[in-house]
Amino acid sequence: MRFSTNSDFQQSLSGLTTLRANLSLWQQQVSTGKRLLTAAEDPAASAQVLNLGERMSTLEQFTRNANLVGLRLTDQETALSAALTTLQRVRELVVQAKGALTSADRRYINAEIRQRRDELTSLANTRNASGEYLFAGGAVKTAPFSSNDGVVSYSGDQTRRALPIAEGRTLAEGFTGAEAFMAIRSGNGTFVTALGVTNTGTGRVVDDAVTDPTAYLGDGFRIVFTASNTFDVVNDTTGATLLSAQGFVAGQAISFNGSTLAITGEPVTGDTFSTHPSPNQPVFATLNGLIGALDTTATTGAQAAQLSFLMDRSLVNIDQALDKFTELRTSLGALQNTLESQLQANDDLKQHLTLVKGTLEDADPVEAISNVTRYSHALEAALAAFAKVQSLSLFNYLR
């Protein structure tokens, strides 16, 4: 029979519209793979999905930061490794120079040490692939080290650059040039020794060390020879005499202020030997001191003692710089390990967030395909029935 009223027609039409809408919804789920197509469908779940998306976006930025930090750490480690090699070569040259060499040999060695100093300066001004200076601190666009007739100065800042690699966590990109090349302890790391510039004997200091850190005071001390075989120890800071008229034996330990040292050779009356707390000494200053020593010609026993002492002290200071470079490389390795652990943690969190987000927004493919089939059949049947009924007339019923 035909539709008896207009409302029946509208009701049937509405049913068809609903079927089409449901079919379209499930078809979109199949094509997109997503259950949440609009926020109105499930406001609470949509809000959670939005929040998870923002967290995942932030996490991706953390990962990009971490990868960038990793590259910069690797660049610094490579530069410091090269600096170690350069300085180890200088050490070999110093050991050679301490031997019985001709003046020509010493000039050759000194020329190479100058080259190595310039090479070290170049390494301290290493730039990364982006053109940024690795050891400039925050002033990455300006060369941190400059040389004026071999005197190297640092103009970078003291800022350790860092980037966030996780929520509430930043990681340094390495060390500043001041830390790597300038802030190097001299002497034995606690105090340094020196010979009096007016000494006329052949005495020089060896085997200096701290023996009792609890008794050590950070004062300056002076050993004054009152005769060739006796000496006093004076506290230069307070003026007090610690030891008086002590008998001298070459090479025998002299102990005071929680420390010990020995004097070899033959000091004479009026000669002095001093100790004072170790200052930081740039590696470039150590090399320049070495270059100056090798340029010196010793014509007296006292000058030979001074030269030998300067060579020994240069070796000690080079070893301090080598230790510093090694320490920094170890620290860079530790930062790399921290970075790798955080990258793994970021990846684990990303997988978890992806799973939770998928649970909220992803469609069930089996359910979606089943419903597409079901609503397709239902719509086909409804359309057929609608068309058949709509085509009937009163004459069809009178026949």
Per-residue pLDDT of the chain (399 residues; tens, 9 = 90+): 444 555 555 665 666 676 666 656 666 665 565 665 665 566 776 677 678 888 889 999 999 999 999 999 999 999 999 999 999 999 999 999 988 678 888 899 999 999 999 999 999 999 999 999 999 999 999 999 999 999 999 999 999 999 999 999 999 999 999 999 999 999 999 999 999 999 999 999 999 999 999 999 999 999 999 999 999 999 999 999 999 999 999 999 999 999 999 999 999 999 999 999 999 999 999 999 999 999 888 889 999 999 999 999 999 999 999 999 999 999 999 999 999 999 999 999 998 988 877 676 665 566 656 666 776 666 666 666 666 656 655 445 445
Q: Which residues of 323-345 are buried (b: 16+ CB within 10 A; e: fewer)?
A: ebbeebbebbeebbebbeebbee
Backbone angles phi, psi at 375, to 5 degrees: -75, -30
Q: Are 76 and 161 in contact (CB under 8 A)?
A: no
- Note the pLDDT of residue 395: 47
Q: And the tokens for 260?
A: 């010990």
Q: And the tokens for 114?
A: 């100058």
- Note the pLDDT of residue 394: 46
State which amino acid sits at residue 375.
Answer: Y
pTM over 0.85, yes/no:
no
CATH class, range 34-186+280-362: mainly alpha
- Note the pLDDT of residue 194: 97
- Sign of the alpha-carbon torsion through 351, 353, 355, 361: negative
Q: And the tokens for 288?
A: 């320049």
Structural domain boundaries of the chain? 34-186+280-362, 190-278
Question: For the chain, what is the mean pLDDT?
Answer: 87
